[in-house]
Amino acid sequence: MPKIEFKEETLNGRASIIGYADREYLTFRIPRGNKKYSHISLQTTDVKIAHDRVLDVYAATINQPLRSRSGNLRFAKICEEFLEWKQERSEISEIRETAVKTYSQ
């Protein structure tokens, strides 16, 4: 986790301008739920310029939905696809049916 060097509340406490130790520019952090945050680079090191950019960035970010992970690469889904592939191979007699049962266990 990056170390916070500078933190200032903005927009009546709804967001923060943060300066991290390992980053060049200031970052705008918006809470989006219980433990989720949106972090947007403000592309400046000056706090006054950052305060000017905050409102535009906040409006653009709040109007967009949260990004979510797709369920395409979950471990369970990958296992199901692997077993389907093995089943197809057993149907064309490349492997035995007992091998498919062993894989499914």
Mean pLDDT of 25-50: 87
pLDDT of residue 70: 65
Q: What is the pLDDT of residue 33?
A: 77
Tokens of 83: 């077993």
- Say what the pLDDT of residue 88 is: 92
Q: Which of 52, 60, 28, 50 is nearest to 41 (CA)?
A: 28
The predicted structure's pLDDT at residue 72: 66
Asked whether the predicted pLDDT for residue 94 surpasses 80, the reply is yes
pLDDT at 86: 92
Burial bucket for residue 11 (CB in 10 Å: 0-12, 13-18, 19+):
middle
- Give the pLDDT score at 85: 92
As a whole number of angstroms, the distance between CA 76 and CA 57 comes to: 38
Residue 3 has φ and ψ, to the nearest 5°, of -85, 130
